[in-house]
Amino acid sequence: MKFSTFTSQNRRIMEAELIEEKTIPKGAFNGLTMTKEDFLTWRPDDEPFVYEFNDGIIESKPGMKQNETKIIRNIEDKFYETTAFRQKSRLFTEVDCWVTERQMRRPDMALYSNEQIERMDEGGREMPAFVIEIISEYDEFGQMNTKLREYFAAGVQVIWWVVPGFDMVHVFTSPKAITIATDTDPLSAVPALTDFNATVEDIFGR
């Protein structure tokens, strides 16, 4: 089955849901200013939030939740069947990802090759080829779009927005190239993963 076409109507519906007025929880340190050097040694104790660095400003992000663990497990189960996994590539959760020298993001899941993992172990900074964000009711649409552009500008090849509230996965291969997968539609992680075989139903465990 082919992907559903991402139409302007689809986008308007998604935007309306994501930007609907609601109280969005923020971490205690959200908006704090800090140097990059201080941020690198900072260890906040503010569960359930994690923190990102945006040119001197600390931005909070809700950490992974227990009701998202099934989705993560299902994605990982399918990833274990790929050639990349056998070659020691791994999907990591909430690893720091420096998209520029002044901006650090923490994607929910990110793919790193074995070679990248070895270089990171030696202190290097690497950019994942594949990023997954699980979209919750507390994610701000404008900020998600900003991060999307940052990731692609930094070299990420494919991004998934997993939307549990709609049982949809939005697949981006550029900020403008978008498809929506639902139900039994196959999911693609090309070009980052060429043999990832799963449907949306597989991911949500329906």
> Does residue 147 form part of some domain?
yes
- Res. 10: pLDDT tops 80: no
> Does residue 37 form part of some domain?
no
Q: What is the three-class DSSP state of 15?
A: helix
> Does residue 33 form part of some domain?
no
> Does residue 55 form part of some domain?
no
pLDDT at 142: 87
Positive or negative torsion for Cα 160, 11, 137, 174 = positive
Question: Taking the CB of residue 156, how many other CB atoms lie within 10 A of it?
Answer: 23
Tell if the pTM clears 0.75, that is, is over it.
yes
pLDDT at 14: 55
> Does residue 194 form part of some domain?
yes
CB 141 within 8 A of CB 15: yes
Among the listed ranges 5-14, 101-110, 129-138, 191-200, which one has the minimum average pLDDT value? 5-14
Residue 11 pLDDT level (bands cut at 50, 70, 90): low
Q: What is the pLDDT of residues 60-106, one digit of tens each?
A: 988 888 989 999 999 999 999 999 999 999 999 999 999 999 999 99
| Residue 105 lies in domain | 4-21+65-204
Residue 46 pLDDT level (bands cut at 50, 70, 90): confident
> How many alpha carbons fall within 13 Å on the CB side of residue 122?
7
- Res. 12: pLDDT tops 90: no
> Does residue 168 form part of some domain?
yes
Segment 128-144 shows an average pLDDT of 90
Which residues 6+ apart lie within 8 Å of 138 measured at CB?
A: 22, 24, 25, 62
Domain harbouring 92, CATH code: 3.90.1570.10
- CA 70 to CA 107: how far, in whole Å? 17
> Does residue 44 form part of some domain?
no
Domain count of the fold of the chain: 1
